[in-house]
Chains A and B, each alone.
Chain A
């Protein structure tokens, strides 16, 4: 399938009048004509300088360019295509940029300061959230909080929402509303500092956060206290669920309750005790990320002054930490479905949609594989005579096949701990059936209990008001500046 184009009559006219197309032997190729259509689209593109009434920021945790490629091909193959020709919704957005992700003191970033940069406009310190550059990680006395985009937009009358498939107190989601010297202070903080769960309820009470949906209910109730989805684990005796309820918030715990929610009051949805399930494992009754995104937009659209919504497909990252590409990609497809729904529910004329990752993983894609090679399976050889792969696995120098996906480090390491504590091993024999099993861990090199993030750049895709401000290679904090410009600065200029 070729790129879908929004070819206008003007674009058709442009194509027809293009001399190049009349003389070249390749002019009849579908690739050629599709590219000509895109060219016409680009020639005619006009910047959208409307005020952004709404902003939706999708932060796909752990999705750099590599992971985006894997999700794209996986999704395409699930839809019956060879895969490579497929486009995820955001692949077709008119504006994009390459984003640098480093933290003030880390070449390889973590999700707390990266999301913090998007929400404050400045780089931040490893493992901290929304603190000035003087903060010392894990030192409560050094906390120096920054002002958040959510606070500015709320002050201007907009509503704010946060959705995550991880715990709602986890780093990326927390960066919308919290400020902390340690991202792990989710349910407890040293005296003088405030834990992240308490900060969420504080921000709901202050009118900054209007809807928060995700996992992580355990941080909202005292240890051992039975709640709808497990038990609390707070070391203090504070029951934040009761507090939220007493201040008028609507609490929901299942997909059914979310769908039936009144939505007139602030909404706190806590669907699991810890992280929500991977899409592959998601039980009936637990909302999908699309369900949560749609519910949040529906709630936020009630405000005629607009909204800011951050959506975090959080477990793309966790699956890669576990070295399991199947769950990385299935959660990625679930994200794409949520994005498509968000796009359908909003208007490009007044809604800025941004898609990015906070960092990449140590995920690699091996070659040389033929077209349509199953992206979670063995690398199949290029076939002579086109188009699809030959069906014969490519063999490495050790005579064994290998998967397209590999990891630089992690639990799938081919070096295994021996009884004497040393590490050694060889690549095991591998069948296509084993490789494509949903629980298979792709081979990795460096042994580690968890696969790591990577410091390489990530992609950003955007559409809507002022999306054209993204371009080239940018630092992550530019995301804040564009969102701020598209909303508050653009409105002030009118």
Chain B
């Protein structure tokens, strides 16, 4: 049982811990799992999260930074005063839990529809975009010398990767072709500044409380690249959940996001942000097509994956709204 293994593990580094309770799997694919549990302690239980690749799943897939790198990044963000969980323990072979780490559990909401509609977040919504601008600026400002080894990306490489993946589906999509062409023609070239890029800074990976942002999660896609990528990605319409006139996550304006970013002492290039928003919209569309492929060929023959395949047309209309807007 995972509670016994976790109990032994926790006892080895948490003084006074007498076991764990309430272990439950929050999410998990074949190669990566997230568990929530409480560390039992005489002075009160402590909420914790295990993020791991189970034993037998060593290497992380293609683009992933790897769990060790994720742990390092989270701890660096935490140490820099950014909203990030404290990493409590990096798994060792003795733990017999696979590879990964245990971190502090931060209470709050990650589900976009609740964040955008529930009364308890009414005070948070108007301030979130500016706050997140400051947070992502802090992430981009983390000292490069302390960062783990990460892949380096550029707009040129990203366009090539997306094109290769799209062509591998062998299914013609004129709107995606138009977007690829648009991106190739406007490729801004290498960024003057190369920073840490979170890579998936959007709803689902942000813990929000009534007071605003509490934690940034899921550093799996972290890399070195153009910092404007993160600002473009969070503006992609797919993360607005119906609130299409509020480009930042359905709760805020670009101006507020940019103001928060610049208040933290960094510079925004709005044209580049727009370029990355188009790239991000296409990227999500291609990811939706990828889900369909995995539904067909892979072990995950689920309705959810199949239906996500039918969401790629959402990104087609959003690409047309960006590239060929109609009046009216």
User: A and B: partners?
Assistant: no
Tell me the B residues contacting A by CB distance below 8 Å.
Answer: none
